Each structure stands twice: as C-alpha cells, then as structure tokens.
Amino acid sequence: MFIERSCIFCDLPSDNHLDVCSHCLQDLPWQGNACSKCALPLSIVMETTTIKQALCKNCIELPPFFQQTFATFNYNFPIDALIPKIKSEKQRFHLHWLALCLTEKLPACLKMPEVLIPVPISKKKMLRTGYNQTEQLASELSKLLNIEVDNRLVSKNRDTRAQANLNAKQRKRNLLDAFEVQENNYRHIAIIDDVMTTGATVNEIAKHLLITGICKVDVWVLARTPL
C-alpha cells in the first residue's frame, strides 16, 4: 500500500520516497568545497589547487590520524536544528533518510571500508539515555551499504566534557585515555559520527585504531561545523 508522506520541513506531500520533498532536499546545506582530510568547509578564495587536494590550515600544519572525511552537510540551518532533536525517540526516523543522503553523497569511486565503527558513548551515558544515535546511524548505513557494524571494537571508558567549549590543551586532556580499542584484524574502517565539531574525538579514536594495526581510517559524518 502506498502511504503518502508529507515533507517534514514544508508539510506539503513529499514527491519521493523520503520524508523530505525534493525542493526542501535541494535547499539543505549540502557540503560543497571542503578540506579533503577533515571536511572543514573551505571558502572559494582558498581553492588554489584542485578541489581533491584542498587542505585546511590545521591539516597542513598537523595532519590528523584519519585519512579522509566525508560530511554530507555543513552544520547549518535546518540540519543544526534537526540533529539535536534525534535524541528523542519520536524523531529517530530522521536517521533513515539522513543515512540515505550520506550514502548518496559518498564518491562513486570510493573504496568501501570493511566495517563501520560508531563513535561510542560511555556506559554511564548509555544507562542515562538508553540510546546511542551514532550506533543507530551506523546500523542504517549498514543496511543501505551491506557493510558490517562493529559496536564493540571501540569503547568509551568515561564521560568527557563537550569538546567545543574547550581550548586545545583542555581538549587533549579531556580525551586522554577516554577510549579503548580491542585487538582486531581489520585493515580499513570508517568511523561514523553524527556531527563533527573540532575533529578531536574522531582523531583520538583514529590514533588508537592505527596502533592496533589498522592501515586506513576514514570518517563519515552527517554534518561538519564550519569554524
């Protein structure tokens, strides 16, 4: 049976199989030019080399441990209003169409990872919220791409403060020994996160993953905050 969906943004009947109509979909803040390492949005002025090789100042000065980041959107309106809402149970259906957007934005020639690794939350936080939306996002991606998710490879030992409000030194201290990685035989993995703010969290996880012998760590996120 065909169920008519209305667009979550404009309330008009959706003209496709998603919960967003094609007009509103087009108006979303899709990521354009960005640093090929950390997906930081780059201004046109900075595009002196080919887009493929564009790097932000931070990644030139101190390259991260991960190889490349794919962000579907810039963390601007209405994505920045929508993603925080997904924490509530009724809004979780958004992860399905958002995951679909993410897969459609991946380059066609991309070498796929062996496994998807969601950014973990601490046991304490899991008890409090009962839910990790990054695990849910990874599970949606897994169904769409037929790639396994490993929820056990990386665990978080303790709660950390939100990275965005800390300076560089505090950020490092905040993440110190926060993550633990199991021994494994993977070679190429992708870390999954909903929003990448400073990149320090995924970088810390990537550092631990490389130590266990993984050769290549990619990062896939729904949205990247512009600085």
The site for Zn ion (CB under 5 A) is made up of 7, 9-10, 21, 24, 35, 37-38, 40, 56, 59
Tokens for 112?
Answer: 């796929």
Give the nearer residue to Zn ion in terms of CB position, either 22 or 157.
Answer: 22
Give the nearer residue to Zn ion in terms of CB position, either 6 or 157.
Answer: 6
CB of 53 to Zn ion, least distance (A): 12
Vertex 101, ends 70 and 71: CA angle to 5°? 20
CB of 20 to Zn ion, least distance (A): 6
CB of 121 to Zn ion, least distance (A): 25
Which of 201, 67, 56, 209 is CA-nearest to residue 134?
Answer: 201
Give the nearer residue to Zn ion in terms of CB position, either 10 or 112.
Answer: 10
CB of 57 to Zn ion, least distance (A): 8
Q: Are strands 148-149 and 115-118 parallel, antiparallel or unpaired?
A: parallel
d(CA 161, CA 53): 33
CB of 135 to Zn ion, least distance (A): 26
Give the nearer residue to Zn ion in terms of CB position, either 216 or 224.
Answer: 224
> Who contacts 39 (Cβ-Cβ below 8 Å, separation ≥6)?
31, 69, 70, 71, 196, 219, 221, 224
d(CA 90, CA 107): 31
Length of the chain in residues, anyone? Answer: 227
Torsion over CA: 108, 61, 224, 23 (sign): negative
Give the nearer residue to Zn ion in terms of CB position, either 40 or 221.
Answer: 40
